[in-house]
Structures are given as structure tokens and as C-alpha cells.
Amino acid sequence: MKIKNPATGEIIAELDEDRTEEVRAKLQSLRQGQRAWAQISVRKRLACIERFGELVRQNSDELAAILTAETGKPIQQSHNEIIGAQNRIDHLKANAEKWLADETLVDTGATHERISYEPLGVIANISAWNFPYNVGYNVFLYALVAGNAVMYKPSEYAALTGKQFEKYLHLAGIPENVFQCVVGDGKLGQTLLEENFDGYWFTGSYLTGRHIATTIAHKLVPLQLELGGKDPLYVTDDVTDVKQAAINAAEGAFYNNGQSCCAVERIYVSEKIYDEFVAAFTAEVKSYTIGNPLKTDTFIGPMTRKQQVNVLDGQVKDALKNGALLKNGGKAIEGKGNFYEPTVLINCSHAMKVMRDESFGPIIGIQKVASDQEAIALMQDTEYGLTASVFSSNEERALQILREMDTGTVYWNCCDRVSPNVPWSGRKNSGLGTTLSSQGIRAFVQPKSYHLRFS
């Protein structure tokens, strides 16, 4: 498999793809390894994960360079991701023993009742390229600590990073027959669906997620899907600092080139502050440094996937045809690499694709609203349900709006944020199941109920 640098179009590496025979052999060895791994205490398993974290920290410069080379993520953002994702390890350290421990519910009388939490077995983790550390750690670190073995299939656009995970997990003491990274494209993902894993954790698009759900339904094993979003942000008329709200909203829309599952994908602004907000937002976007992702001051690098450029072009053309106005950008940047101008469309409406379909790139639509009721109706007018955000100086007003949102996560005066302390879950077409938090730990075990009669 050829690995291309999306900033230059150059081939930077070639990897041997795993075929069905290799997947089967690796799965068989993972089955054996998992049985021994499950016998080790949670504390010892955690110690390996902590060592992995230390190794990643020590090698973060090299790892950031690899991530930037294969995905085009600006180097500062690669560093931020690698260091930021360590909070998953801190979370496991603080909580895993508590949530994986046996529980005694009744220990008096003739019949005692207890629960033990047993690992699922061998997990297939089919992952995405946009934040491989964050979304990878949410699954494979939590699965390993809970006593499972993992076959990790990174996206073909983040395969070098996947191989680094494997290298450092093994160096940290995770046995080779407990974690394996397999390399290949969507066809390899399909192979994993055809084999018998004890659970499937997927991060990626709605269409692939739906395909996975239908393909493996007959296996009756746990399935979790972390899918896309069309996340709204609403700026009310009472924000104290319109400029700051615009800066924060722009960062939520354009960080990682808009290629975040919880990126701000559409913005609604009260008509009372609309012009001021649009001016501040556009000025902020115009100030972004675009170009070589290896430079530390670059904020907008290339898109990871070339084909997404056509999706963005289609959304821009459709919006302009339906009455939107272009305030910045609007087209691909000519030359080497998959660069697209950061694009701001205003006077948008839900007749436009840019307000309905996931963009997953550096483009944003802004729409004027007359009331909170109108904003709520528009925010809710979506097939997705990942996150929703309100910027307002009034907490109660914001909470009232956020309670109406059919999303797994809501934000007040912030956006595009994930924390290991609270559950990460999507509703509707944004997914199924939960990662992170105590629930994300328990997701990787199955309860066994004990009824123990003493008389």
C-alpha cells in the first residue's frame, strides 16, 4: 500500500497489506493471547498502558512528524493531539480499577449476589484518520485495560501512525498476541467483518457504519459506531463579546481543516448581532496561515483525502446557486497537494447542502435567525445528533435551548471539545454506543451475575 503525503502528493512509504490469511492467523493468536491477558490484574495491565504513554511522550516529535506527513495535519495540531490524548491514560489510571472491580450487592442471608465484569474477548477496532490518537485511544486503550485483545485497523490514510501504536504498545509490555495492527484499505475492513470477532468498534462515516451494522447483525456481538455529525452552533443576541464568540466559533469550524467529527458545521446568529458577527468571523478566517503543514504557524494544511475537494466544491456551488454569499475562499488552491481555501458562506438556508450534509472540510455556512425558537428548530433539523453549542451570556437561556437538542453532547460558550470524564456518544445517524467515561470502560466488559446459596 502506497502512503501519500497530501501536502505534496509524494509517495512517502510503502507498506505490505494484510490479506485474509494474515488476518485469520493474527486473530487466532490474539484469541490465545487474550486468555492469558485476562488473567493479569487490571493494575498490571494499566502499568503497560502508562509505559506506552511515556514512550509516546518521549517520541512525540517523531510521531507528530509521521502524523503530519500522512494526514497533512498542521504540525502544531499533531503535537496537540498526541499530548492531549494522554488524558485518556490519566482517566484510565484514575478510574479503571474502580469500574472493573467485582461488586457484591447482597452479602447477608442465605443467598449472596455478586457481579463480576469479564472481558468480551477479541475486539475489531476499525478506525478513522482524522484524529487517530484520540479516536484510537478511546477504543484500544480502554479495551486492553479491560482484558481484551485488539485487532486495530487504522484508516489507510493513517496507517503509519497505526504501525507506531503497535510498536510502542509492544515495547511497553503488551504482548504481541494481545494487540495487532493490520494494514489495508476498506477491503481489509470488510475482511474483518467476515471473521468472528467478539465485538466491533468503528469510527468513521455514517454510510460505512450502517454497512457494518447490517453486515454483522447476525453475529449478535456488541457493536459501537462513532459516526459523523452536522453540528450546529447558535450565537444569541446577548453574547457579551461578539468578536470573541466569532473567534471561538471559527476555531471550532476550521481546526484540523474542519475534519473533526464534532467540528462546528453550521452557524446560526441572532439577527441583532449578525452583521457584527459575520465581520469578525470573516476577519478571523482571513487571518489564518495556510500552507506547509510542517511550519509551526500553519493553521490550515491540506485536506487529507483528495476526493473531499469535490464534495466541498459541490456544496459551495449549490449554496451560491441557492442565494448564499461568499465572504472568503470558495475553491481549491491550485498546485501540489489537496489544499482548499477556508470558505465562509453567509445568508445560508436549509435549502442548501452546506447546512444539511456533513462537509468535513474547511467550509462553513452562516444563517440569520430571528428568535431562539427558530434557532432550535433549525438546529434540530438534521439526521445527525453528535453535538450542539450555544454562545450566550445567560446560562439558563442556553441550558433551555440545549435541553431541546437530540445530541449526545451539548456545549455552552465552547465547542468542538471532547473530555474522557464524560460519555462520548452520538444519536440518530451519529452513532450507537458510548466511549470514554465510566460507561466507556464498562463497554468493554460483560457482566456475570453470581447467585451463591450458602445453606
257 DSSP 8-state letter = G
The single residue among 189, 199, 252, 433 that binds ligand NDP, judged by CB under 6 A, is 189
98, 281 in Cβ contact below 8 A?
A: no
What is the enclosing helix (H) or strand (E) of 223? strand 223-226
Backbone angles phi, psi at 106, to 5 degrees: -135, 120
Query: Is 183 near ligand NDP (CB under 6 A)?
Result: no
Query: Is 437 near ligand NDP (CB under 6 A)?
Result: no
- In single-letter form, the type of residue at position 297 comes to D
The single residue among 6, 72, 175, 228 that binds ligand NDP, judged by CB under 6 A, is 228
Contact pattern from residue 365 through residue 404 relative to ligand NDP, giving x for each residue in contact according to CB under 6 A and a dash for the rest: ---------------------x------------------
426, 229 in Cβ contact below 8 A?
A: yes
Which residue number, 161 or 392, has a Cβ lying nearer to ligand NDP? 161
Q: Find the DSSP H helices in 182-329.
A: 186-194, 206-216, 242-254, 274-286, 308-321
Stretch that binds ligand NDP, among 37-45, 103-111, 154-162, 318-326 (CB under 6 A): 154-162
CA distance 281 to 249: 8
The single residue among 53, 365, 431, 440 that binds ligand NDP, judged by CB under 6 A, is 431
Backbone angles phi, psi at 199, to 5 degrees: 180, 150
Residue keyed to cell 450546529: 232
Indicate if 261 belongs to the active site: yes
* Cα 316 from chain centre: 25
As measured in angstroms, the least distance from the Cβ of 22 to ligand NDP is 16
Dihedral over Cα of 300, 189, 202, 407: its sign: positive
What is the SS3 string spanning 71-132?
A: HCCCHHHHHHHHHHCHHHHHHHHHHHHHHHCCEEEECCCCEEEEEEEEECCEEEEECCCCCH
The single residue among 15, 55, 193, 422 that binds ligand NDP, judged by CB under 6 A, is 193
Query: Is 362 near ligand NDP (CB under 6 A)?
Result: no
- Helices 132-145 and 86-100 cross at an angle (nearest 10°) of 20
Which residue number, 226 or 416, has a Cβ lying nearer to ligand NDP? 226
Which residues face 179 on adjacent strands? 150
As measured in angstroms, the least distance from the Cβ of 159 to ligand NDP is 8
Query: Is 156 near ligand NDP (CB under 6 A)?
Result: yes
Residue nearest to ligand NDP (CB): 189
Query: Is 265 near ligand NDP (CB under 6 A)?
Result: no
The single residue among 17, 22, 97, 185 that binds ligand NDP, judged by CB under 6 A, is 185
As measured in angstroms, the least distance from the Cβ of 122 to ligand NDP is 16
Stretch that binds ligand NDP, among 46-54, 106-114, 226-234, 290-298 (CB under 6 A): 226-234
Which residue number, 358 or 372, has a Cβ lying nearer to ligand NDP? 358
Q: Which residue out of 226, 265, 341, 358 is catalytically annotated?
A: 226
Q: Find the DSSP H helices in 146-241.
A: 159-171, 186-194, 206-216
Number of residues binding to ligand NDP, judged by CB under 6 A: 32
The single residue among 5, 71, 125, 127 that binds ligand NDP, judged by CB under 6 A, is 127
The single residue among 52, 117, 129, 299 that binds ligand NDP, judged by CB under 6 A, is 129
CA distance 156 to 250: 29
| Contacts to ligand NDP from residues 5-34, by CB under 6 A | none
Q: Which residue out of 48, 156, 166, 261 is catalytically annotated?
A: 261
Indicate if 14 belongs to the active site: no
CA distance 129 to 103: 38
Give catalytic residues, as residue numbers. Answer: 226, 261
Binding site for ligand NDP (CB under 6 A): 126-131, 135, 153, 155-157, 185-186, 189-190, 193, 203-205, 208, 211-212, 226-229, 261, 358, 360, 386, 426, 431
